[in-house]
Amino acid sequence: MTELNTVLPALKPFLQTAWQKSGFEQLSSVQERTFSKILEGKDVIVESPTGTGKTLAYLLPLLQQINVEVKQIQAVILAPSKELAMQILTEIQAWAASSGIQSASFIGGANVKRQVEKLKKHPQIVVGTPGRMLELIKQKKMKMHEVKTIVLDEGDQLLLPEHSDTVFQIIKTTKRERQLLLFSATLNEATIQKAREIMNEPELVLIKEEKALEPVEHIYFVSDARDKIEVLRKLSRIEGIHALVFLNGRWDLSVLVEKLKYKGISVSALYRDLNKAEREKAIRLFQNGEVSLLLATDVAARGLHIPNITHVVHFDLADSISQYIHRSGRTGRLGTHNGKVVSIVTPREESQLKKYARERKLELKKKQFVRGNIVDVEKSNR
């Protein structure tokens, strides 16, 4: 709390008000360790698990530094997907309420003329996907001469070959003394090295602890592989469930979806090769509560930020403790609400799951269904 007591009084009044409304009691590790660095204008490369508050870690200092009197773009946030860009914009608008700061999104697939109209309103923060942002820059519609900071959210994805050239071109349109921030849930040495090449003596911040898992309950069911669908069917009957279900790619998702629908389960799925319209529909059905389960592989779920997920279900056990933590961080984000992490494991997988729990000191409870109710295995055997 010491860090919060130092940071909070230094924030502008509109940010202090937004903090009080947020209900957060303390800064997360990534927010504590990056706030002063970003305010000091340093370049940073940050790795922090999903759900630990990375977006707010860069938004607080960014919003703190925006000059409302300057009607030019001062901060650019790049994201690899439309969904993530829109989620970031929502966060900006929530935290910048009553500040006078203008923000806008610029994403592929949207009407270009309407986006040009947005620019005429002189946003000071813009967030978007690289392709559309560069298109507007080349058309000389988006002016970059006043940009002080560029953020690469999900930076590991933005530095992959399909995005990196576009990202580098955008960066080159800004002044040399601009600040560059990279945030990601996972980083490897190749990504870090690539980032260093375009940064000015960046500081590396690696967050390994997962604060977001503290209020989350971790439970599991043991089942033969062929009966996992039946366990998922029973889970789907829980009142108010809004679950993100992870698979390892070994299943034919379309076949699994049909089996679940046959059992009366409302479900949508994210496949890696879905087109934009299909992906948006699947996410919309889930966000609106029209389906209770959203199935996804880890690749398909990258950049997906959906609030108020009640359950994360490991239909297939994660291949590593890191993968387990990143998946599980989708629920109970930053302690804003309690969530449940549910693993459906075979007898062989149970020992591996217990090993994950020991490594991270997680309390893990074995459960089973009795007449539609979830009970402790020990209690049900009495």
What CATH number did the domain enclosing 161 receive? 3.40.50.300
Q: How far apart are CA 263 and CA 129, in angstroms?
A: 38
| pLDDT for position 264 | 84
Same domain, 189 and 243: no
Report how far residue 5's alpha carbon sits from residue 26's, in angstroms, rounded to the nearest whole number: 9
Task: Give long-range contacts, CB 8 A cutoff, 24+ apart: 366-369.
Answer: 366/219, 366/220, 366/221, 366/222, 367/219, 367/220, 367/221, 368/221, 368/222, 369/221, 369/231, 369/234
Domain boundary among the residues 178, 206, 234 is at: 206
What pLDDT is recorded for position 382?
41
Query: Number of structural domains, the chain?
Result: 2
CA dist 116 and 122 (Å) reads: 10
Q: Are residues 229 and 202 in the same domain?
A: no
Q: Both 127 and 238 in a single domain?
A: no
- Beta-bridge mates of residue 103: 125
Helix 82-95 vs helix 54-65: crossing angle, to nearest 10: 50
pLDDT at 347: 94
Q: With CA atoms as reference, report the closest residue to 207 among 27, 36, 48.
A: 48
Q: Which domain holds residue 42?
A: 2-206
Tens of pLDDT along the chain (382 residues) come to 445 667 777 889 999 888 887 767 678 889 989 999 999 999 999 998 877 788 999 999 999 999 999 999 999 999 998 888 888 998 899 899 889 999 999 998 888 899 999 999 999 999 999 999 999 999 999 999 999 999 999 999 999 998 999 999 999 999 989 999 999 988 889 999 999 999 999 999 998 754 444 568 899 999 999 899 999 999 998 888 999 999 886 567 778 888 888 888 889 888 766 777 788 888 888 888 889 999 988 766 766 667 678 899 999 998 877 778 778 877 765 444 568 999 999 999 999 999 989 887 888 999 988 887 888 886 544 4
Q: What are phi and psi of 137, to 5 degrees?
A: -65, -45
Same domain, 136 and 178: yes
Specify whether 233 is located in the same domain as 376. Answer: yes
